[in-house]
Amino acid sequence: MRRAIALARTRVGLTAENPAVGCVIVRDGVVVGEGVTGEGGRPHGEEVALDGAADLARGATAYVTLEPCGQRSSGGLSCSERLVAAGVLRVVVACSDSSIYADGEGSRRLQAAGVAVDHGLMQAEAEALYAAYRPAKSLESRR
């Protein structure tokens, strides 16, 4: 998680309305993929890490600084869906995301698919990254 937080820190303030999320994928004690949200907010950190890990993500653990999204504003696959499709077995989340695109939905989707989800590892450090992040609380607030 320490590496995921370090990655996220490099993009704070550069990801527009989206938060800067770091993700590190570990399999058998080896980092097989890592990523951070792109400048302007796309791609998401989990997407970058999954692309880097490719098939090595199957059976791995993903360490993510902020809860993976449960849905996408663009309508594409959410990060939680991508993690499930990649075969990740465990997701460790530093802190929750109260955005309408996450707010527990990402964690619930992962758990429903049989993925173990742990919350709170290095939570205070991750929350400090998101002090200025003000997620949309409802679809009405996005208009």
Catalytically active residues, by annotation: 46
- Number of other residues whose CB lies within 10 A of the CB of residue 11: 21
What gap in Å lies between CA 71 and CA 81, rounded to an integer?
Answer: 8
Cβ burial 86-122 (10 Å sphere, 16+ → b, else e) = bebebbbbbbbbebbbbbebbbebbeeeebebeeebb
